Structure 1
Amino acid sequence: MKLNEILGQSKMGIMAVLMLPLLLLAISGILFIYQEVSRLWSKSAVQNKVVVITDAISGLGKECSRLFHAGGARLVLCGKNWEKLEILYDALISVADPSKTFTPKLVLLDLSDISCVQDVAKEILDCYGCVDILINNASMKVKGPAQNISLELDKKIMDVNYFGPITLTKALLPNMISRRTGQIVLVNNIQGRFGIPLRTAYAASKHAAQGFFDCLRAEVEEFEVVISTVSPTFIRSYHMYTEPGNWEASIWKFFFRKFAYGVHPVEVAEEVMKTIRRKKQEVFIANPIPKAAIYIRTFFPEFFFAVVACGVKEKLNVPEDRLLVKMAA
C-alpha cells in the first residue's frame, strides 16, 4: 500500500514538473495576445485623425510613424532632413494598404531655428486644415560637466527641447481650442522630474518642458484639449531599418526587449499610442528604481543628492571635445 502511495506521489510530482513549462508558455501566449489586441484597439483611436510628428526621422519618430500610419491616421511628418523624410515616406507606403491608409505629408522643420516655427505651423495647418494630435518628439541631449558646456550650447539645447516644442504648440493650439478637441503629447524624459550629474543643460530643458505642459494641461482642460507627457528613462538607439519597410518584430523581441538596457523605440511608440487612446495625462516608462528615485527626491532630498553625487569627481575633468551631443529623446 505504501509503495502504491509513493508511486502515486511520484507521478503527481512528475506531472507538476511537466505542467509548469506548459503553464508558463500559456501565460506568455495570453500576454502576447492581450498586447496584440490592445495594439489593434489603440490603432482605431487614430483612424482618420490628423497626427503631426516632430523629428519623424529619429528611431522613435519612425516607429510612431509606422504605428500611426498603419492605424489609418493622416500623418504630417516633420524633420530637418528632406532626404531622410523621403526615405521614411517610401518605407511607409511600401508596406501599407493604400485602401486603408492616407499618403503621409512631409514638412521640413528644424526646431533649433525658432524663427521658422511659426511659418512651419502654418504649412502644417494647410495640409488638412486642422490638427487632432501633436506629438512633440524632437529632442537634443548633451553629456558633460557644466563648466565645460558653452552658453551657446546651453541655449541650443533649450531651443530644441523647450522653446521649439512650446512655440509649435502655441501656434497649433488655437486651432484645437476653436474646435474644442485635440491632444498634445510631449515625449519628455524622466529627467524632467529629477536631474543627474553631467546632464545639467539637458535636465534643465526637460524640467522646463515638463513645467510648461503641466501648467498648460490645467489651462486647456475646459476646451477639451488633452495634454499628455510620456517620460521614458532613455530611448536606446538601434539599427533596425537596414531594409526599407522591414519593421516586423519577432515574438522573441516581444519577450526579451524589456529586459535589455534602455527602452526600445517600439515600446515607447506603443505607449504613445496607448496614451492617446486612453487620454492619459502622465506616463513613466521605467523600471522600479528610477520610479522610486522620483519619490526619494521628493521626500528624502538630502539622501538623494548624496547618492547621485557618489562617483562623480573623476568624471568632471572631461575635455570639451569629448562632450557627448546628439539628438535623442
Structure 2
Amino acid sequence: MATEQTNQLSLEQTKPAPADISVKAPEQPKQQEAAVTKKEKFTPELCASTISKLPEPLQALKVCFAQPFDAFRKAFKDPAEADRVMAKEIDFAAQAMMATPYLIKCATSNPLSLVNALKNVALTNSTLNPVLKQGYLVPFGGAITFMPSYMGLVDVLINNGLVRKIEAHCVFEGDKFEIKHGSGGYLNHIPDPWGSRDKIRLKGAYYYAVMTDGTELFDTIPVDEIEKIRKRAPSAKSSSPWDTDYEQMCVKTAIRRAFKFIAKNGISEDKVKALEAVFDYDEKAEQSWIAEQKGKPATSNNRFDEEEVEYEEIKN
C-alpha cells in the first residue's frame, strides 16, 4: 500500500500520455543494444486506444491505466499479446469502477493503488473477467487492491503445475463422510442429494488435492473453526458475503487452507504475496468496506458480493 506521501502525488506530476506507454529496460551490453532498442520501440496501440475511450469519470485516471504495461509485458513473451490482454483488463476494470463509484473515489485519492492492483492482475496471470471470477478490484482503507477469488487460487495452483486437481466442499448432516490420516489415509464423502443444505445443518468443510506426483492432500475444517474465522472480521455484525453466501465462503476458507499448505515451488515470491492478499480480505476487507459505506444507500452499486458480480466488456 502506498505511503501517505506517495498518495498525495497528483496525477499531473506522474502523468504520461497514454499513447506513449513504453517499457524501459536496464542498461545492457552493446551487443544486446539492438534487441533492447527493438523492445523499447513497441507501442501498445490497443491499450492506448482503450484508454483514450475511457468513460468521462475515468478520464482523470488515464495515467493509472497506462502505467501497468511493463508488468503485462513481463507476463507475456509476445508484447502484442500483452497489449491485447491488458486492453481487455482495462475494459473489465473500467466497467467495475463505473458500476461502483466508490472505486473511482479510492483511485482518485490513491492513484498508485489502482496501478498496483492492475500490476497484480498481470503478476498473478489472473483476470478481472467476471465470467471466470478469478478476482476483483476491492477498495479497502481508501485504496484499491486486486483480490483473487478462491477460483483464482485454484486456477493458479493448477496452471502453475503445483497440483493436478483441487476442490473443496461443505459437509452437512445426513452426508456420509469418513476421513483417515496416516498410513492408508483416505477421504470419502457421499453427499445426501435430497438433504437440506441449511447453515444450521453444516458440519464443516474440507479440501482435497492431488499433487503432480499423485500424492493426495486433504484436511477438514469444522464449523466451529470456520465461525472463528468469520468472527475475526472487524464488522462481523454487518451484512456481508458471510450472510448472503455462507456456503461459498466456507469453501473459500477450505481452499485458502489448502493454498497455505501446498508448496509454492516455481511461483515467485511476489506472485505468492499478491495471491495471499485474499487471506487478509476474507477476514477484514470485505467487512471493513461495508463499515466505510455506512450511511450510503444499500444498492448493488456499493455492495461487494463475489457471487453476484455481473458486468460485461465495455463496448467501444
Tell me the TM-score range normalised by the shorter chain.
under 0.3
The alignment's TM-score, normalised by the length of structure 2, stands at: 0.24
Please say which structure displays the higher CA radius of gyration. 1
Normalized per residue, which structure has more helix? 1
The alignment's TM-score, normalised by the length of structure 1, stands at: 0.24
